[in-house]
Structure 1
């Protein structure tokens, strides 16, 4: 591990945060509006942006410390009213730094509630789990029947560019979606030193340090043309990627050694899924170009 990396982690480990952010969106004459924004600690948003017009709010989640240290607990909640359309992203990669010797947990929990006739696009940039991190990351999506959702999660285990693997790191990740209170889709990945070989196993990450999960729904149907285009993208991908239909959801899973390549794949899939699901062409957040 480089001296600079050690110094950054030691500096960040002297404090810890229990922070929350609660967002509420309404729809009216001015379109989709961020009506409430309650926060504690270093977790907040600036004003929404409207590159697509007043009906769709682009929101950037800001976490100034840049990552989680031992003892940090972040809670993010988003609630929408009918007819709102919200796209949420982040200005850069999230990070979970090396845990202290006492292995105190570093956690982030996200609760997303989307009512009937509302749309949420949850498109954060990648999360980097530093060697020896100890983290729990949970996404709970609660949809009402008639809501539409597109979301992804890109996780980099270790620092492959520096030839640093996840070593003795621990990670517990969950992404679950409920419709009208009933669980419909649940993805969980548990990385633990006792699970010897999971990072390299065929039934695990197969030696790839970057894991990706993308989901879109609910869909009445996906055209053969769109499904074929998604499958072609996955087949051409420099890594592993595949498309599944799970009830009313399209699920894309991917493994790779490069988070930027995976992000580009997911953006191209999003450009196909967005018109199919919400009948609007993809409009990339401006922050992605900086």
Structure 2
């Protein structure tokens, strides 16, 4: 295991970045619709905006084709008062073998009063030898709503790959009105396949997803979501307005087969088209 001190030391002498990208965007209300208020893309990060609904949907694209040691990706997005903003990705993201250094992805999202944010990136696929550090912080106003999913695939089962060497440090923080609401962290290094195979971790599984739903009506979805999950999934009502789902699966195909009905239910059948391709 790598200590925090070692991580800080490596940051003092970073490797030359292979790709750097930044995406900054915000949404506002205009004539009863959620529309783009501000946008800035730089480096490897781009965004597309499908039309045809009252919500604003942004498809995030990393034009570098994946992540490897030294890469830096930053995303900042704000859903203004009363807006509905959906953020997704064009396809699954890939964390490739890192010769040295870490790939770092830092995401900060703000959801203002009476706004809704759907954070719906597709899978992050970890390749053998990858090294990924991700942070996701979401700040909710008192009356804001959120649907968040973070799926991860540990290796490429279809390619016969065993993830016997990889590193991932992943942290999710959700705050509401300046107070902590939900914190989750994952820290795995070395032979990830062997670690996941432990009986108390994820035996027989190489894919996982975390879902968080924050809204006044979450309790009405509890029984339905529970019925949709396989034996390797679970759902809990952590607060009267906070639903949390953790799902394990053998591979990416099985993960999607279980995850899509859950996301359809919680999103009100408004899952982005890119999830269907």
What displacement does 1:181 show?
Answer: 1.6
TM-score normalised to structure 2 length: 0.88
Q: In 1, are the aligned partners of 2:162 and 2:193 still within 8 Å (CA)?
A: no
Given candidates 161, 166, 179, the residue that maps to 1:164 is 161
Q: 1:221 to 1:31 in 2, by over 3 A?
A: closer
What displacement does 1:220 show?
Answer: 5.4
Instruction: Return the alpha-carbon distance in structure 2 between the equivalents of residues 221 and 251 of structure 1.
Output: 10
Instruction: Return the alpha-carbon distance in structure 2 between the equivalents of residues 201 and 211 of structure 1.
Output: 15
2:56 equivalent to 1:57: yes
Instruction: Return the alpha-carbon distance in structure 1 between the equivalents of residues 126 and 113 of structure 2.
Output: 35
Q: 1:110 to 1:14 in 2, by over 3 A?
A: closer
What displacement does 1:271 show?
Answer: 2.4
Q: In 1, are the aligned partners of 2:126 and 2:154 still within 8 Å (CA)?
A: yes
Segments of structure 1 that go 5 or more residues without pairing to the other structure are 1-12, 275-280
Q: In 1, are the aligned partners of 2:66 and 2:93 still within 8 Å (CA)?
A: yes
Q: 1:195 to 1:124 in 2, by over 3 A?
A: closer
Instruction: Return the alpha-carbon distance in structure 1 between the equivalents of residues 133 and 257 of structure 2.
Output: 26
* 3-state secondary structure, aligned to 1:219: coil
What displacement does 1:265 show?
Answer: 2.1
Deviations 1:191-240 (A, max 9, x none): 112899532223323241111111100335512xx322111111xx2x61
What displacement does 1:269 show?
Answer: 1.1
Deviations 1:15-34 (A, max 9, x none): 61222111111111262111
What displacement does 1:261 show?
Answer: 2.6
- The match for 1:20 is 22
Given candidates 100, 110, 114, the residue that maps to 2:111 is 114
Q: 1:194 to 1:69 in 2, by over 3 A?
A: closer
Q: 1:171 to 1:152 in 2, by over 3 A?
A: same
Report matched runs for 1:178-257 at 5 Å.
178-193=175-190, 197-219=194-216, 222-223=219-220, 226-234=221-229, 237=230, 240-247=232-239, 248-257=241-250
Q: In 1, are the aligned partners of 2:22 and 2:73 still within 8 Å (CA)?
A: yes
Alpha-carbon RMSD: 2.1
* 3-state secondary structure, aligned to 2:224: helix
Q: In 2, are the aligned partners of 1:119 and 1:149 still within 8 Å (CA)?
A: yes
* Aligned residue-pair number: 262
What displacement does 1:14 show?
Answer: 9.7
Given candidates 23, 43, 62, the residue that maps to 1:41 is 43
- The match for 1:131 is 128
What displacement does 1:71 show?
Answer: 0.2
- The match for 2:34 is 32
Q: 1:207 to 1:85 in 2, by over 3 A?
A: same
TM-score normalised to structure 1 length: 0.84
Instruction: Return the alpha-carbon distance in structure 1 between the equivalents of residues 105 and 112 of structure 2.
Output: 23
Q: In 2, are the aligned partners of 1:140 and 1:176 still within 8 Å (CA)?
A: yes
* 3-state secondary structure, aligned to 1:222: helix
Instruction: Return the alpha-carbon distance in structure 1 between the equivalents of residues 165 and 264 of structure 2.
Output: 37
* 3-state secondary structure, aligned to 2:195: coil
Instruction: Return the alpha-carbon distance in structure 2 between the equivalents of residues 146 and 260 of structure 1.
Output: 36
